[in-house]
Structure 1
Amino acid sequence: MKSNWKEVQPKSIFQVGISSPLSDQEREVLTLLYQPIIGSDAFSLYTTLLSEIETTGTSESLFHAELITMMNKSIKQILDARKKLEGIGLLDTFVKNDPELGTIFFYRLNHPETVERFFKDEVLTLTLLNTVGQRKLDKLFARFRPNFFSLAGYEEISASFKDVYLFKEEQIVAQNKQLQQIEASFEDPRPAKKISAVNESFDWAYFIQGIERLGIKLPDNKDGFKEEVFIFHNLFGITELDMVDFCSKSFDYYTGKIDAKDFERAVYRTYDPDKQQRKSEVVQNEQANLSEADQQTYRYNSLKMSGFSEMDIQMIMDSENNFPLNYLEALKNSKGGYTTPQERSLVKYLVSKSGLPNSVINILINYVYNIQKQPTLKADYVNRIANEWAQSEIVSPEKAIEHVREIAQKSKTNQSKPRYPQNNRVIRQETLPDWVDNPVEEKKLSPERQAELERELRELLKEEGD
């Protein structure tokens, strides 16, 4: 039975209960993971109701007027907070009508999810991300992430239970009734509730008919798969028929059941495909049949003639001769740092989604890490730069350097250094290196002079080969 706030009056009676006390870790999860999502009013309501519960697991009967006084909130504010708790599964509300006392409410507080179940729940994790942002989510994840130790090379020599404790199997039969009663007392009779993003715009029954006609079965985790189907429907607007088609391409031929991971990959391949990387526009001598080493020499001289300094050239050639993950590892190692799992995932994402050549991605990494002095690569900040560079058709490392020079010059006009804003926070000012602050004037060579230089270079390479 659902009610609106007008049916909850200050004189309405309520009781509150919880199945068992909260553990210290549950309180920490409630404070750090749930509070950012539900807000301070809902968090205050939960803790206030919890404080009224006695050792019996329930509170005495109270008037809502007392709740209004304790929280210093209006009845409507309390109802809004209550709905937030209900929506995220921390509170269930029940109501009954008493002939003498009128409407009586019972608020059943629920335990927050465990850390593992919270972060495995896509809806909860994404809701937290949308509330606190990527940087804070990374910190929270790092705080709660379990540490699994490597035991490679070790041999386990732990004693087993039966090696240490006396246990008589025949007692299981003799004490079976009592054991079952004890076990049953810890089972919650109510069905487990999962936070859901399901809406009614998707015809689930029609979808089920479609896969059944093909002889396909739902995976073992039916509820989790249903949630995923609805999320993809809301995310990409996939119809019931198209969803059936995806299932027909991602089921196990032996069991006939849908493979949830294959289904997920099939959807992402279609609606979020990898972007083909553009080839870096590297200046090479296409006429002369030069070896790899000679092409590198030609590349060096071409950059030198274009006005790039020794430091510029070294950076450009390093960016062209290393894969982005290796490049990032080398930069981190040179400063005594290490690459985080989030950074690895971000670099892989840039390679597959941005379309930028590896060499340009490497310059981007260098810019963020060495120039902006960021200790780690942050997804929102790096993606903002990558998007701008992709839209600006920056497809070579020298173009990336020139682009940074250009924004540096524009920023000097406004008496500020070039920066990409991070959540509207001012980035600390850093001294930019030679290749940003002191661009070298490029001198345009005449076609005759260019041909003469190339001829001299070919002769030089021929002499070196002899």
Structure 2
Amino acid sequence: MKDNWKEIRPKSIFKTAIASPLADQEQAVLTLLYQPIIGAQAFSLYLTLLSEIDESGMSESLFHADLITMMDISMKQIEAARMKLEGIGLLSTFAKEDSELGIHFIYRLNHPETAERFFKDEVLSLTLLNSVGQRKLDKLFDHFKPKYLNLTGFEEVSVGFKDIYVFKEEQIVSQSKQLSQMEQAFDDPRPAGKPSAVNESFDWSYFVQGIEKLGIKLPDNNTGFKEEVFVFHNLFGITELEMIDFCSKSFDYYTSKIDVKDFERAIYRTYDPDKKQRLSEFQQNDSVDLSAEDQQTYRYNSLKMNGFSTQDIQMIMDSEKNFPLNYLEALKNERGGYTTPQERSLVKYLVSKSGLPNSVINVLINYVYNIQKQPTLKADYINRIANEWAQSGIFSPEKAIEHVREIAKKGKEQKQTRQRYGQNNRPIRQETLPDWVENPVEEQKLSKEEQARLDKEIQDFLSKGGDK
């Protein structure tokens, strides 16, 4: 079912629902904060689906062909817009198979976050920054931030609630059931649509059993802590037993619950930049039954046959053997540098949020640090590259290398075209390149023999000109 529902056809039936109407403030947040991220078509789809909902909170049954007519876009564009809404948490899609009508869909529109929660969410804030830029982000923040009064020198003289209204405390007990039902009715059933760092190579069940045997409990925010554990596993290659050991040193003795901050500090203290990091196991090729050593030989020969140089292959294999923070530490140590706290947070963020494999993140780090000669990793610059690679479907180190070379080649051709025709004011064909491409072509120095030959040709030319 999960694969079948993706094949939505114009004759597929759907209904749209929403728990409660959008407030004016929510519409402003949707327009000013979400629209720059999701784009015009996804924004239009949300409003179109919303317009079909009546007072019951649900629309009548419609065909997807109706959406095509109302929005004047193709089915493929509608699907792309729908996925943008789903990815950011504004839409949840549910499907049910009907023997007569085929697959029947329900699109549940979710309310946007409040402005406060939006700007407190680092993922949403950074995504908006990448969409509109720093200047526009600052204006949007000023627009939505609370406007507090300066009450210095004033004293509040307002009356209290019980001074005016009759309230019987005993009713809280007698009406507790009804009060509880009303409270629960307003709970938002929407699941958090956060990017996940879950990795099948880490046995979460085994880990939980291990800490429970020690009498340790998970923190209140189980989901958030689980993401934290998987991020650290991807960063440093920490095993289940090692993770259990960290938990045994970072729990509250009164509640027996893991203290997340102590847990993080314990890991960072152990995996200090000055210490040699443990490498992960070499990636296995499941299609070939070979030993670990033969797997590397197999991988080397495969890359060689695909035209990669020895230097390329070495970098690819290194990127596959190392976790990102280890990889960065090694590059820094080679030049006698060190990793800053900001870089550690940035690498952690990439592992957690970018969706790129560790090996691709390593190639990205190598590109910025070794090719672009940047002394430190800058968050805005790195995120622009990671975003472009993720959207281009670059999920292997060899694809990353090929992509960088293709971009560099286009940049060089574009520069040569400008030099050749720019002075004559002729139209120049411009190719759009990602804004992170800033790799200047190094000047090619002539050898002594070539320089001497060039000097002689210049002298011969000048002497002939003097004879005229």
Q: Shorter-normalised TM-score: what interval?
A: 0.5 to 0.7
Q: Is the 8 A contact 2:119 2:125 kept in 1?
A: yes
Task: Provide the residue aligned with 1:73 in structure 2.
Answer: 73
Q: Secondary structure at the match of 2:39?
A: helix
Task: Provide the residue aligned with 2:28 in structure 1.
Answer: 28
Larger Rg: 1
Q: Aligned runs of 1:49-448 on 2, under 5 Å? A: 49-129=49-129, 131-132=131-132, 136-146=136-146, 156-172=156-172, 179-188=179-188, 190=189, 192-201=191-200, 202-269=202-269
Q: Distance in 1 between matches of 2:146 and 2:236?
A: 33
Q: 1:125 to 1:224 in 2, by over 3 A?
A: farther
Q: How far does residue 204 in structure 1 lie from its aligned partner after superposition? A: 1.7
- The percent of aligned pairs where both chains have the same amino acid is 67
Q: Distance in 2 between matches of 1:118 and 1:169?
A: 37
Q: Distance in 1 between matches of 2:12 and 2:121?
A: 36
Q: Is the 8 A contact 1:123 1:197 kept in 2?
A: no
User: How does the TM-score come out when normalised to structure 2?
Assistant: 0.52
Q: 1:22 to 1:353 in 2, by over 3 A?
A: closer
Q: Is the 8 A contact 1:33 1:128 kept in 2?
A: yes
Give me the CA root mean square deviation.
Answer: 4.1
Q: 1:258 to 1:50 in 2, by over 3 A?
A: same
Q: What is the number of residues matched between the two proteins? A: 293
Q: Is the 8 A contact 1:197 1:231 kept in 2?
A: no
Q: Distance in 2 between matches of 1:141 and 1:227?
A: 28
Q: Distance in 1 between matches of 2:238 and 2:142?
A: 34
**What residue identity is the alignment partner of 1:22?**
L
**What residue identity is the alignment partner of 1:24?**
D
Q: Distance in 2 between matches of 1:19 and 1:36?
A: 25
Q: 1:7 to 1:157 in 2, by over 3 A?
A: same
Q: Distance in 1 between matches of 2:172 and 2:131?
A: 50
Write the deviation string for residues 286-307 of structure 1: whole angstroms up to 9, x where unpaired.
xxxxxxxxxxxxxxxxxxxxxx
Task: Provide the residue aligned with 1:347 in structure 2.
Answer: none
Q: How far does residue 194 in structure 1 lie from its aligned partner after superposition? A: 4.3
Q: How far does residue 60 in structure 1 lie from its aligned partner after superposition? A: 1.7
Q: Is the 8 A contact 2:36 2:132 kept in 1?
A: yes
**What residue identity is the alignment partner of 2:194?**
I
Q: Distance in 1 between matches of 2:265 and 2:126?
A: 19
Task: Provide the residue aligned with 1:315 in structure 2.
Answer: none
Q: Distance in 1 between matches of 2:273 and 2:53?
A: 52
Q: Is the 8 A contact 1:5 1:75 kept in 2?
A: no
Task: Provide the residue aligned with 1:456 in structure 2.
Answer: none
Q: 1:169 to 1:214 in 2, by over 3 A?
A: closer
Q: Distance in 2 between matches of 1:29 and 1:210?
A: 44
Q: Distance in 2 between matches of 1:92 and 1:121?
A: 20
Q: Distance in 2 between matches of 1:240 and 1:144?
A: 44
Q: How far does residue 218 in structure 1 lie from its aligned partner after superposition? A: 1.7
Q: How far does residue 215 in structure 1 lie from its aligned partner after superposition? A: 3.5
Q: 1:121 to 1:217 in 2, by over 3 A?
A: farther
Q: How far does residue 97 in structure 1 lie from its aligned partner after superposition? A: 3.5
**What residue identity is the alignment partner of 1:83?**
M
Q: Secondary structure at the match of 1:69?
A: helix
Q: 1:46 to 1:352 in 2, by over 3 A?
A: closer
Task: Provide the residue aligned with 1:452 in structure 2.
Answer: none
Q: 1:11 to 1:140 in 2, by over 3 A?
A: same
Write the deviation string for residues 160-188 of structure 1: whole angstroms up to 9, x where unpaired.
21111122335456655654554454345
**What residue identity is the alignment partner of 2:111?**
H
Which stretch has the larger CA shift, 11-20 or 150-159? Answer: 150-159
Q: Distance in 1 between matches of 2:94 and 2:27?
A: 24
Write the deviation string for residues 309-345 of structure 1: whole angstroms up to 9, x where unpaired.
xxxxxxxxxxxxxxxxxxxxxxxxxxxxxxxxxxxxx
Where does structure 2 lack aligned partners over 5 or more consecutive residues? 275-338, 344-367, 377-434, 439-468
Q: Secondary structure at the match of 1:250?
A: coil
Q: How far does residue 208 in structure 1 lie from its aligned partner after superposition? A: 1.9
Q: Is the 8 A contact 2:87 2:193 kept in 1?
A: no
Q: How far does residue 63 in structure 1 lie from its aligned partner after superposition? A: 1.2
Q: How far does residue 260 in structure 1 lie from its aligned partner after superposition? A: 1.6
Q: 1:31 to 1:388 in 2, by over 3 A?
A: same
Q: Distance in 2 between matches of 1:15 and 1:214?
A: 50
Q: Distance in 2 between matches of 1:133 and 1:232?
A: 30
Task: Provide the residue aligned with 1:14 in structure 2.
Answer: 14
Q: How far does residue 226 in structure 1 lie from its aligned partner after superposition? A: 1.7
Where does structure 1 lack aligned partners over 5 or more consecutive residues? 275-349, 355-382, 392-422, 427-466
Write the deviation string for residues 94-141 of structure 1: whole angstroms up to 9, x where unpaired.
223344433321111111122333344444444445555555555544
Task: Provide the residue aligned with 1:44 in structure 2.
Answer: 44
Write the deviation string for residues 250-309 of structure 1: whole angstroms up to 9, x where unpaired.
3223333222222333444556869xxxxxxxxxxxxxxxxxxxxxxxxxxxxxxxxxxx
Q: Secondary structure at the match of 2:16?
A: strand
Q: 1:14 to 1:389 in 2, by over 3 A?
A: closer
Q: Secondary structure at the match of 1:195?
A: coil
Q: Distance in 2 between matches of 1:56 and 1:87?
A: 26
Task: Provide the residue aligned with 1:314 in structure 2.
Answer: none
Write the deviation string for residues 146-167 of structure 1: whole angstroms up to 9, x where unpaired.
4566767765543221111122
Q: Distance in 1 between matches of 2:47 and 2:171?
A: 44
Q: 1:145 to 1:225 in 2, by over 3 A?
A: farther
Q: 1:99 to 1:247 in 2, by over 3 A?
A: closer
Q: 1:91 to 1:181 in 2, by over 3 A?
A: same
Q: Distance in 2 between matches of 1:97 and 1:152?
A: 64
